[in-house]
Amino acid sequence: MITLENVSKTYGSGAQAIHALKPTDLHVPQGAIHGVIGLSGAGKSTLIRCVNLLERPSSGRVFVDGQELTALSPQALNQARHRVGMIFQHFNLLSSRTVFANVALPLELMGVPRREIRERVQPLLDLTGLTDKHDKYPAELSGGQKQRVAIARALASRPKVLLCDEATSALDPQTTSSILELLKDINRKLGLTILLITHEMEVVKSICHRVGLIAGGELVEEADVGDFFTAP
Ligand code: ADP
Ligand code: ADP
C-alpha cells in the first residue's frame, strides 16, 4: 500500500547539507500497522512527511495504493492526497471552528455538497467517540478529544492510509492507550493501513504489527513486532 524506493531527503546544500534521510526503501502492505521508532533527530518526521510529499524527497519514488505520487502533477497530487490522511502531535485543529466544522473542512475543500457533508461527518464523530461534542470548540476539549477530532477529520476524505506523526506524544499514558485503541479499531473496521512514527516503545508494542528502527537518517533494522522486542 505504501512503497518507498530509494527515497532520500537532504536539507540545504554544500557544507551546510543535512542528510536527514539517507536512501531508504520501505514497504507497508495493505492493512498493516507499521511503526518507525527512533530518537529525536533520527529522521522520523522527514520520513513520514516524504510519504505524502509534505516534504519533497531529494531522490527516489513514492507509491501509495499503486500510484506513484512522485510522478504526479500538482493537481493530481492534490487528488491523490485525499487517500492519505495524517494526524500530528499537536492536533492542528482550527480554533475558530467547532468539532463538526473541523471534520467537515476537508469535505468542503473537496466541494462535497452540504447535505452529503452532514451525512458523512456524523458517522465519523460516532466512530471516534465524539457524538455529543459536535458543537464544541477545540479549546473546550481535552487533548485526547482533540486528537479524536483530528482523526475524524483525517478520515473524512475516506483515505486508504493514515500517517501518524508522534500522534500520542502530547498525551498522558491513559489517554495514549485510548487513542491507540481507537487507531486499532479503525485499522480493523475500515481496513486502513497505518504508518506511525514515535519515540515511544510502548506505542510500537501496543499496536504495531511490524516496526523499523531509524537512526542517523537510516532504517537500520526491521522486524515483526514480536521478534523486535524478544530478548536475545
Ligand atoms: P525526528 O522526527 O526523528 O526528530 P527529523 O526528521 O525532524 O527527525 O530531523 C532529522 C534531521 O533533519 C535533524 O538533524 C533535523 O535537525 C534536520 N531537519 C529537519 N527538518 C529540517 C528543515 N526543514 N531544515 C533543515 N534541517 C531539518
Ligand atoms: P500491497 O497493498 O499489496 O502491498 P501495493 O499497494 O504496494 O501492494 O502495490 C500495488 C501495486 O502498486 C502493485 O501491484 C504495482 O502495480 C504498484 N507498485 C507498487 N510499488 C511499485 C514500484 N516500486 N514500481 C512500480 N509499481 C509499483
DSSP collapsed to 3 states, 147-175? HHHHHHHHHCCCCCEEEEECCCCCCCHHH
CA 224 and chain centroid, separation: 20
Asked whether the predicted pLDDT for residue 58 surpasses 90, the reply is yes
Q: Which of 209, 198, 196, 110 is nearest to 161 (CA)?
A: 196
- Ligand number with the minimum distance to the CA of 83: 2
Backbone angles phi, psi at 194, to 5 degrees: -120, 130
Q: Which residues contact 181 (CB under 8 A, 6 or more apart)?
A: none
Distance 71 CA to ligand 2 centre (A): 14
Q: Which residues contact 98 (CB under 8 A, 6 or more apart)?
A: 134, 135, 136, 137
Are 124 and 156 within 8 A, CB to CB? yes
Q: What pTM was computed for the model? A: 0.90
Whose C-alpha lies nearest to ligand 2, atom 11?
A: 66
**Is the ipTM here above 0.90?**
no
Whose C-alpha lies nearest to ligand 1, atom 14?
A: 41
Place of cell 477529520: 153
Residue 33 — pLDDT band, cuts 50, 70, 90? very high
Ligand 2 atom nearest to CA at 30: 2
Q: What percent of the chain has pLDDT over 70?
A: 99
Q: Read off the C-alpha cell for 197.
A: 512514527
Ligand 2 atom nearest to CA at 65: 6
- Ligand number with the minimum distance to the CA of 70: 2
Whose C-alpha lies nearest to ligand 2, atom 13?
A: 66
Ligand 1 site, CB within 6 A = 11, 18, 20, 38, 40-46
Distance 198 CA to ligand 1 centre (A): 14
CB atoms closer than 10 angstroms to residue 170: 16
Q: Can you give the pLDDT at residue 229?
A: 79
Q: Can you give the pLDDT at residue 228?
A: 85
How far is the first Cα of the chain from the last one, in angstroms, to the nearest whole number?
32
Distance 156 CA to ligand 1 centre (A): 29
Are 214 and 222 within 8 A, CB to CB? no
Asked whether the predicted pLDDT for residue 232 surpasses 90, the reply is no
Place of cell 466541494: 111
d(CA 84, CA 62): 12
